[in-house]
Amino acid sequence: MSTPEELPSPDDALARARAARPEMAAALDEDLGWQPIWKRPRTPKSKADKKKELREQRERLRDAGKRRLAAGQSRRPRSRQSRIGNAAARRDARALSRVRHSNAWLW
């Protein structure tokens, strides 16, 4: 455990930070090759790059469609409880809808 004698004084830490300020500023100003997307210059893509990107996107979407289709046609049985709950909820909703669209509440 540190004793108070071992801890640097706040004044000393502040002096070291002030001394390192020029280095920090230089490091921040230095172009590291990364910028937020909204600050990057718009570089036009070549036709080959565009086509490659679109091809990859089509492939991704096609794969997602296949997964969705497979999930919809999945033979994995649903639990009995979820089937009952869903059916009951549908029945209740249907009954409420009928009441709402009738004039039963007027009598």
pLDDT tens for residues 12-52? 888 988 998 888 877 777 666 777 878 877 889 999 999 99
Number of CB atoms found within 10 A of residue 89's CB: 10
Whole-prediction pTM: 0.34
Q: Is the pLDDT score of 1 beyond 60?
A: no
How does DSSP classify residue 40? S
Ramachandran assignment for 20, one of left (phi > 0), alpha (psi -120 to 50 degrees), beta (any other):
alpha
Top pLDDT among 82 and 90 is at 90
Say what the pLDDT of residue 53 is: 95
Domain residue ranges of the chain, discontinuous segments joined by +: 11-38
3-state SS, residue 107: coil
